[in-house]
Amino acid sequence: QVQLVESGGGLVQAGGSLRLSCAASGSIVSIRAMGWYRQAPGKQRELVARFTSGGALAYADSVKGRFTLSRDNANDTVYLQMSSLKPKDAAVYYCNADLIKYGNFWYEECWGQGTQVTVSS
């Protein structure tokens, strides 16, 4: 069974920092894209930052210059360093990956369970 295990959410004051981690575990053959989305109450889920299938790094305009996505390929893990947090950054953050599970031959999209980020003003 393949899982995306997230950690690092919590409560922080505006202007503060948090670091989210997401580790893919299980029988994985290949990961071609991995990153983070977020969903605030009453809003659609949106991209935050992602390593794309071509290896590029994509950020939402709203987080550029404040958030940094990094990865540890050896451990199938991505990290989202969030700085200068604003109340509007508050949301449930979801890890996302396009991967091939052992025994399959196609990429499929997987999601983590989500981690709450709360930013107090």
CA distance 76 to 49: 16
User: What is the arithmetic mean of pLDDT over 79-94?
Assistant: 98
CA torsion angle 74 54 117 9 (round to 10): 0
Distances (CA, A) of 18 to 7, 75, 96: 10, 21, 18
Q: What's the pLDDT score for residue 36?
A: 98
Q: What's the pLDDT score for residue 53?
A: 86
pLDDT tens-place string over residues 15-48: 999 999 999 999 999 999 999 999 999 999 999 9
Q: What's the pLDDT score for residue 54?
A: 84
